[in-house]
Chains A and B, each alone.
Chain A
């Protein structure tokens, strides 16, 4: 068995914590894990790109065009990670992302930046895209629980929902309600 997952977002969104939840759930199910992530430094508000490889794999970087799914906390980051996804792979993406600082500070012309519609069109050309409004579903604004719930409800995802639930309860107990919101929002859509 192998399942290659990309977890993508922006520093400060709780991506690395979400990854820790997934890996501890995987270990609980006896599934081998390798994680390649970039962190450290003053990477605040920078892109966070995590390659999470479940089951049989070699290195910690997913070869281009081989990833099974993306869990993207931000549409622009979903687009950035697209090169690693196989054709027809799954993208679970939070609809409302974090604008880049050059855009929010008015330093970049808006036309140099792909519009939300362009982003989703590019994503949909290659992948099965599932949009989720994580911010609206997270009562406390912490979106990682919602995103984990959405991932957990995916039928092809190899980690059991029991292990995911337990890992969320253990690692981010305050986000358990958000997790259930994510499951409910997605479970009928697959």
Chain B
């Protein structure tokens, strides 16, 4: 018995099920799967790809060669791969292809709470959902077997309560799969998806879904637990546990259909539960996908769930939500609870974060005018007061095109802010478009040479692969230059004066201007200092000089406090000096004076 996170269970499941190739792009809560494989597994090809679409297409290529492959991303990545996903469903797969997706129903760390099961329906591929770590581990192998039997990609869907939770798991290496012949079989009618071939494969795909429905009826993780006849529960994924907990709590004993496969649904299992039970409650997170399927089989009369308002359509479920739904449905009174309101803690940019002075300089240069369009990464924490540095933030790579659209509509000046990994992921086409169509915005690339928000994964600008091999270093300046941007400057954002001056110059420049702010992530820098034994030299406020003007407070640094009219620097200070540079009274000094 070992204690594994859901993500580690996926990684161990992949290793034990003979996955030979794993690709992905970091995204909370999925990132640790590739991290784990890259650092713990020797005989597997593991890569961080430049984006999810690249990762999925790479895995599809491996599958076409007969290799078992796995592709990992958060739910938002499925938006990015949807073009490829829907076509790979038409070509079918050779080696098993498992798409591991982590949804974020709450959401805890995402810009949307989409339900990726719609993509399984859209692309016509099976979707499987584990209830805990053990099933996660086992379902990786089961999903790959299913993928090979159906010649279809299979989606394994988890959520943070699986991915980041820890469970005791029994692992057992399966018998090593006899390696399929690694060859690409010439078959253009299958692999070359031009319209005449698509029409034929469309029919084949629909036939595969019929076969998948038969598979669903006997899928080992779909099962009915028979008990009382008055109420039946249909629960998928993690919701099954909440339903079990809730029935235990209320001391009721409904029959439960546990669904480990939510697309396609098993009609016979659903009908046999419905025949015995007077009412059915469907428990699922986000969209009523199972519920609508059940209604289309049985009619709406005795089906309860999201569509009847018993289960919420937004946010993650928990035992209390299901307890409330069951108590309403069964007329069981609940003891009311009331709890004191507690103020929230807002996460912030770290002390010493180089994004802080970059934002400060942008704001200074804009002087209260214009619009700043941010992008996806740690740096969207810059929205919080007192920094309040970004005005728009949508999705990966959207900063530059949105800024262009604003500019051409007469909103000026406009600054787009994008991190290095996001630039490589989906920012480059937007910048090329700005150059091509001659839109004179200012683009700021915050380059810390890592995908920091999700755990400092390497990216094309790092010089190292996921597996730790040295490789080429993509240099944003070179890419930007080849796009014919007219003004390109590189600054160290820790030099606040120089950065502000450069931002002003960039804003005044009549053409497309790009400023690259390059400095390592404060966490990476801190670890490096610790490793090589260079102590940090923190700052302090000379209370005699402090005028209480709050210039330093405007930086929103967690190392600065403002108490009784003067600033104080607390133990979080890492000595970045940015506050000392912005203090007009010269009141912030290095401890020890040096």
Q: Which residues of A contact B (CB under 8 A)?
A: 10-12, 23-24, 27, 32-47, 57-66, 76, 79-80, 82-83, 99-108, 112-114, 122
Contact = CB atoms under 8 A, between A and B. Distances in A.
Instruction: Decide if the interface of chain B is mainly helix, strand, loop or mixed.
Output: loop
Contacts of A41: 28, 108-109, 347, 453-454
B340 interface: yes
A61 B318 contact: yes
B181 to A, nearest CB: 40
A44 B348 contact: yes
Contacts of A80: 342
B248 A100 contact: no
Contact of A105 (B2, B347, B453, B553): B553
Given A45-B558, A65-B337, A40 B168 contact: no
10 contacts: A27-B1, A35-B3, A38-B160, A42-B348, A45-B558, A62-B319, A83-B339, A101-B345, A102-B346, A104-B563
Contact of B385 (A44, A76, A82, A107): A107
A36 B348 contact: no
B195 to A, nearest CB: 43
A37 B31 CA distance: 16
B241 A59 contact: yes
Contacts of B245: 57-59, 63
Given A24-B3, A82-B340, A37 B345 contact: no
B248 A58 contact: yes
Contact of B319 (A33, A61, A105, A107): A61
A76 B553 CA distance: 23
Given A34-B166, A63-B249, A83-B337, A76 B342 contact: yes
Interface of B: 1-3, 28-29, 31, 108-109, 132, 160-161, 164-168, 238, 241-242, 244-246, 248-249, 318-320, 323, 335, 337, 339-340, 342-350, 378, 381, 385-386, 453-455, 550, 553, 556, 558, 560-563, 570, 572
Given A58-B244, A59-B241, A42 B167 contact: no
A42 B166 contact: no
Contact of B109 (A40, A45, A83, A101): A40
A112 B550 CA distance: 21
10 smallest beta-carbon distances between A and B, as pairs: A59-B241, A35-B166, A106-B562, A63-B319, A58-B245, A104-B561, A60-B165, A46-B347, A41-B109, A58-B241
A80 B340 CA distance: 8
Nearest to A103: B343
B340 A79 contact: yes
A101 B344 CA distance: 10
Given A64-B320, A106-B550, 7 more contacts: A41-B347, A41-B453, A46-B345, A59-B161, A63-B245, A63-B318, A113-B343
B385 A23 contact: no
A59 B160 CA distance: 12
Contacts of A37: 164-166
Residue in A11, A83, A112 whose Cβ sees the most chain B Cβ within 10 Å:
A83
Given A40-B28, A101-B348, A61 B342 contact: no
B562 A105 contact: yes
B11 to A, nearest CB: 16
Contacts of B3: 23-24, 27, 33, 35
A72 to B, nearest CB: 12
Contacts of A40: 28-29, 31, 108-109, 164, 454-455
Nearest to A79: B342
Nearest to A113: B343
Nearest to B378: A42
B168 A105 contact: no
A181 B534 CA distance: 31
A61 B161 CA distance: 8
